[in-house]
């Protein structure tokens, strides 16, 4: 198989299959609206033709069976039903899995013969063969007798603009309107090109290197008093920032790529649970770095399945509570500064903190004494603990004690955060905060025992001078007391392994997945935009280190992996109290 043709097919087929999920739900909700039906038919037909060209026979067979069902609905031989949509939905799920196998260079697992047979059985077998379709079903016009298989395919290809219709179909095509004199047809202008992602990543890396050079020149400028040099470097800074912004935009993709899968997932899951759920999508055009879009899919699906299974009640229960029979699940995305906020909210039963507390004690997630000290919000946060589940029995949907902890771990890995809010009887909401890009990272530079480190700005809550009088001991651990709470203290010089000699130290308060720590450092040179480089094979996997970066003065700074650092240095600390500040950068500016 030609690899270039295969790559083009994977890209185009992926886009079409992503759109099928939304189209199936729209088709079902519209009660077989002809426009929605035609849209579904066209996608299956196009996929069949492309797969046939590449001789991907399992995909051809399934798409042909789905076409038969769509055709039977077109001609009125088959009525609209939930069972029909179930079959089409299963076909789309198989196509999605088959495409993933092709992308990984694997041999496609053929579709279950029972699935294909069920599709054919739905439309009554041979009675719905393509030979029985007439042009009325395609164009909605009275064109007379049925047409042959070849004519039918040729007409569809002409409809898509992929081929010239055969001579015996010429009479079916309307005559083109006469072109007015002196008016030439407008030429089609290409407005986009397809670029290999490796080439794009190479450009991003070069821009990253340019940013590092700019940072170094800005440091050197501080030792040279030359107005002309200042103006030149100012212009370079402006051009670099513009180029950086333009390249970042090239990597951006709308979150629609992830959101489009959700309606089908909710539809299939709600059918299996005998629930009625309406899905609303907001802000689908909000853009995010493509790496983050790809990484966001799994945690988002976890949260959606959780809302459908645990959050939204069965229809009878909702009516009993004077709610609409159908629940509502909303996915909303918006850009806030240099972050994107994604919210998953439902109008279900909500979460009772006391129930969560009791279940956490029962499952051994937390001891009774520690649980008694938790406030309502901290009780809700227990659902992100490993091993926590409110299910007493394992089902296909939930109950294994995995999922929500994986969600938080994945989001934190992406330098983001996830928070939960809930009201009993009114519903729950999960708010995901993510940086727009990971390619160039805003970081706070700190020094510890004459070594320089970089801390992602997204995790920093506050920076302040260290006051030893605020340090207390809680058991065997040091904590720093503030006006309304206490924060576990991490002396970074002990982690580095070399005692600090600084006369005045500073505290950097970080918030990682609602776990706050005060990192004691020697100095805070300031904020820089850094490019994170992976460590070599010998140093890969070091706890607390995410990578390295070249600093403005030409040195090397290690980039802190805060989740790994907290796990290594301060595991299982007692719960802290107090509100969590918004993570929009450094809250305190040092003099």
CATH value at residue 233: 1.10.287
The pLDDT value given to residue 580: 35
Is there a domain that residue 153 lies in?
A: no
Residue 377 and residue 343 share a domain:
yes
Residue 412 and residue 265 share a domain:
yes
Distance CA 514, CA 530 (A): 25
Is there a domain that residue 174 lies in?
A: no
Q: Please give the full DSSP string across 309-366, using - where no structure is assigned.
A: IIISPPHHHHHHTT--SSEEEEEEEEEETTEEEEEEEE-S----HHHHHHHHHHTTSS
The pLDDT value given to residue 507: 92
Residue 417 and residue 280 share a domain:
yes
Segment 355-406, tens digit of pLDDT: 999 988 888 888 888 888 888 888 888 888 887 776 654 455 554 444 688 8
CATH code of the domain containing 120:
1.20.120.160
Mean pLDDT in the chain?
78
Residue 350 and residue 495 share a domain:
no
Residue 420 and residue 284 share a domain:
yes
Q: What is the dihedral of CA 306, 308, 314, 315, to 10 degrees?
A: 160
Residue 304 and residue 387 share a domain:
yes
Distance CA 61, CA 65 (A): 6
Residue 320 and residue 241 share a domain:
no
Segment 175-221, tens digit of pLDDT: 555 545 574 444 444 566 777 777 887 888 888 888 888 888 887 88
The pLDDT value given to residue 156: 54
Spell out, as residue ranges, where the chain has pLDDT lower than 70: 1, 122-181, 183-192, 390-403, 438-439, 513-514, 536-541, 570-591
Question: Which residues touch 234 (CB under 8 Å, ≥6 apart)?
Answer: none
92: nearest Cα among 192, 190, 21? 21
Q: How many domains does the chain have?
A: 4
**What range defines the domain where residue 565 resides?**
441-569
Distance CA 415, CA 478 (A): 26
Residue 453 and residue 421 share a domain:
no
Distance in Å from the first CA to the final CA of the chain: 64
Question: Which residues touch 501 (CB under 8 Å, ≥6 apart)?
Answer: 449
- Please say which residue of 412, 435, 458 terminates a domain: 435
3-state class (DSSP) for residue 548? strand
Residue 503 and residue 540 share a domain:
yes
Residue 534 and residue 522 share a domain:
yes
User: Token pair 């999922």 is at which residue?
Assistant: 403
Is there a domain that residue 417 lies in?
A: yes
Structure tokens at 547: 């990578």
The pLDDT value given to residue 343: 93
Residue 214 and residue 78 share a domain:
no
Residue 298 and residue 212 share a domain:
no
Segment 512-559, tens digit of pLDDT: 766 788 999 999 988 888 877 777 666 666 777 878 887 777 778 888
CATH code of the domain containing 488:
2.40.50.180
Q: What is the pTM of this model?
A: 0.66
Is there a domain that residue 38 lies in?
A: yes
The pLDDT value given to residue 522: 93
- Please say which residue of 435, 452, 483 terminates a domain: 435
The pLDDT value given to residue 332: 94
Is there a domain that residue 590 lies in?
A: no
Distance CA 138, CA 133 (A): 8
3-state class (DSSP) for residue 257? helix
CATH code of the domain containing 260:
3.30.565.10
- Please say which residue of 87, 106, 133 terminates a domain: 133
Is there a domain that residue 576 lies in?
A: no
The pLDDT value given to residue 398: 52
Is there a domain that residue 187 lies in?
A: no
H or E stretch at 465: strand 460-465
Is there a domain that residue 278 lies in?
A: yes
Distance CA 419, CA 421 (A): 7
């Amino acid at each position: 198989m030609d690899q270039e043709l295969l790559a083009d097919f994977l890209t185009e087929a992926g886009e079409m299959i992503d759109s099928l999920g939304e189209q199936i739900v729209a088709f079902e909700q519209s009660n077989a609206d002809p426009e929605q039906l035609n849209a579904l038919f066209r996608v299956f037909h196009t996929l069949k033709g492309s797969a046939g060209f590449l001789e991907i026979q399992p995909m051809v067979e399934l798409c042909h069976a789905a076409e038969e069902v769509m055709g039977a609905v077109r001609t009125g031989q088959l009525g609209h039903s939930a069972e029909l949509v179930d079959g089409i939905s299963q076909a789309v799920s198989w196509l999605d899995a088959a495409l993933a196998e092709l992308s990984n260079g694997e041999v496609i697992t053929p579709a279950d013969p029972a699935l294909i047979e069920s599709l054919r059985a739905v439309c009554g077998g041979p009675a719905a063969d393509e030979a029985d379709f007439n042009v009325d079903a395609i164009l909605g016009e009275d064109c007379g007798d049925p047409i042959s298989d070849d004519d039918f395919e040729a007409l569809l290809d002409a409809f898509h603009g992929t081929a010239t219709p055969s001579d015996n179909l010429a009479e079916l095509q309307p005559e083109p309107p006469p072109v007015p004199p002196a008016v030439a047809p407008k030429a089609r202008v290409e407005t986009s090109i397809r670029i290999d992602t490796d080439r794009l990543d190479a450009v991003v890396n070069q821009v990253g290197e340019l940013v590092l050079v700019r940072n170094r020149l800005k440091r050197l400028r501080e030792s040279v008093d030359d107005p002309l040099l200042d103006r030149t470097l100012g212009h370079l800074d402006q051009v670099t920032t513009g180029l950086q912004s333009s390249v970042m935009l090239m990597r951006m993709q709308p979150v629609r790529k992830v959101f489009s899968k959700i309606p089908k997932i909710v539809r299939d899951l709600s059918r299996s649970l005998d629930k009625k759920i309406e899905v609303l999508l907001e802000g689908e055009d909000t853009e995010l770095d493509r790496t983050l879009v790809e990484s966001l899919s799994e945690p988002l699906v976890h949260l959606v399945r959780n809302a459908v299974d645990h959050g939204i009640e069965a229809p009878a229960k909702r009516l009993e509570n004077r709610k609409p029979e159908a629940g509502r699940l909303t996915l909303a995305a918006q850009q806030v500064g240099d972050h994107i906020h994604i919210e998953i909210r439902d109008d279900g039963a909500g979460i009772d903190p006391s129930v969560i507390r009791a279940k956490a004690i029962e499952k051994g997630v937390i001891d009774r004494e520690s649980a008694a000290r938790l406030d309502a919000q901290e009780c809700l946060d227990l659902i992100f603990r490993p091993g926590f589940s409110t299910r007493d029995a394992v089902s296909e949907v939930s109950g294994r004690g995995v999922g929500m902890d994986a969600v938080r771990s994945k989001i934190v890995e992406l330098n983001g955060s996830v928070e939960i809010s809930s009201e009993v009887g009114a519903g729950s909401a999960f708010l995901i905060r993510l940086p727009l890009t990971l390619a160039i990272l805003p970081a706070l530079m700190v020094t510890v025992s004459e070594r320089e480190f970089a801390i992602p700005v997204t995790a920093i809550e506050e920076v302040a001078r260290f006051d030893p009088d605020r340090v207390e001991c809680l058991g065997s651990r040091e904590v720093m007391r503030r006006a309304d709470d206490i924060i576990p203290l991490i002396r970074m010089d002990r982690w580095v392994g070399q005692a600090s000699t600084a006369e005045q130290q500073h505290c950097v308060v970080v918030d990682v997945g609602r776990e706050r720590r005060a990192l004691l450092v020697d100095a805070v040179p300031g904020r820089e935009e850094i490019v994170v480089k992976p460590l070599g094979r010998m140093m890969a996997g070091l706890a607390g280190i995410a990578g390295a970066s070249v600093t403005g003065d030409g040195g090397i700074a290690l980039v802190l992996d805060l989740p790994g650092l907290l796990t290594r240095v301060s595991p299982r600390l007692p719960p802290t109290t107090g509100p969590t500040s918004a993570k929009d950068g450094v809250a305190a500016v040092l003099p």
